[in-house]
Chain A
Amino acid sequence: MFDHKEQQGFMTLAIGADYLEMAYLQALSIKLVMPDARYCVAVDASTQDLITDKQSQVFDYVRTVPDTDWPMDREPDLFASSPFKETIKVEADLLFTRNVDHWWSSLRLKPVVLATHCRNLQDQVVVDTGYRKFWVDNDLPNIYNGMMYFRFTREATEFFQLARTLYKHYNHIRDNVLINCREERPSTDVVYALAAKMYGVENCTIPSLDYFNFVHMKPHIQGWAGSSKWTDTVMCETDPPVIRINNINQLNPVHYHVKEWCTQELIEQYERA
């Protein structure tokens, strides 16, 4: 079941052509700032057929997950399919802007580490926002699934088995346990928050690890009224690996969130860098 090839690396789930492109851009960004970093993309069979030669050269590993019409169902499978003993799993729409090698030694303190906060583009920690009312209502831990770490251990195995069980019984939990749950199908943010609560928040978070987080470009996290996309709201300049948004160089990973921002032009810019 487990097939670990290397000690550590980054991994994402990419199902569909758009996510494959974003994963490729992410791999380019990681290798630009950490040339020795290893990268794995998990795809379904149909997405695997879309992988181009130049993408294959950047992806160190491609792992296949079962086909699904709801990609988030496959998230817990990444633990088993990772080729790394230690994995930093990130969402595909997230770019790295500087070397984060120092993260590994801190993340090893726990078998599973979930990000507990995110930042705005001014590098300020944003703990609670209008998006998190559901978490407050249900007394769920404020975790952000854009980024997580796991190490191949018995404890981590338990965590992901628990997550898988929650996915399986989501309809019952949604209708009978959760308050004001409007998510018809399970999202990783909700399921992993539930899993963290049941597993023990203290066992899968390190709140004092204030650098294990990312800049989240949702408008409310930025303190902007309205729901316009950030790409329509503020100026962004890219000079890989530098990403400057609203005149501030972003030093933390950028969860750009707006899929259309990943253009062919941007990918070519990273390829040339």
Chain B
Amino acid sequence: MKTFTFHVSGTHCASCKILIEDVLNEQDFIQNARVDLKKEIVEIETISDLSSEKLADVLTDKIKSNGYILSVEKTVKEKQRDDVIWKALPIGLGLLVLFFLLQKSGILNIGIGGQTTPITSFVIGLIASVSSCLAIVGGLVLSLSAKISQDNVSDTKTFTLFHTGRVVSFAVLGGVLGAVGGAIGINFTLTAILGILASVVMLLLGLNLVGVLKKNKIALPSGIFNFFRSVEHKTFTPLILGFATFFLPCGFTQSMQVSALSSGSFISGSLIMFAFALGTLPMLLLLSFGSASFAHGKHAPLFFKTAGVVVIGLGLFALLAGLAGLGIINPLFNI
């Protein structure tokens, strides 16, 4: 019996350890397999007579479909990661350029006059979902979706809960605004602080997706990790997150909230916000379920890194804008 140590790449989650060990232990020539996630190594005890290179190839075949690669030399892994990031960087930046050009073009500033009806608020929702609000709400949805898909195979339930929570709470809160009328105003400073929090989360997740945090062994604070774990595994948290998006800073949301406020009744306020949330839904669904399908596909590593680049870009944009909105820094741009 011999003992081999291989470098493993593609391990991004705690459950990866269990998965790899399960698969490797199923092979009849392996006595014992042990994964060390911190060092990114796999130790196996085997009765096989193959050379270490051959063995790495054979075993990689078994776990390649899950995105893991075993190698004798650590450098091989580094090279692959670099290749992916070099592709992900231009793709991600290209998407960011398209997004900001779209904002700059003024196409989205279509005037919709007259009374706000559920139909106009649906149209405004459609516009809002590709506007600069996408930078913050969409960026958050994309980063969370990519992260959840990366860690969890059964992500559909989480996404469904999140979007249901979002649409339902928009309808309910819109109704409350309509019923209460002018008595409550949603504080700008509060929404701005929430926006900054969201952009910090986006930056952290983006760096994590690109692999910077993992590479330098800077782990996210454990509180944040626990938070994500609860996002993945509980029913309640995605619903709450969907609820919280009501308060994220987005000019369109805020102006719809005012329409709901002045609408005068629970039903009309609720209808306005519900229609608005429905309008934003197609784009957000595309982002989360799109992430899921990419994440389980062949190009998963490229997708995660590209998503990371996009999320970092949007997060920086939202953070700088949010700080300027709070008057902490001078506005750096006007887009």
Say whether A associates with B: no
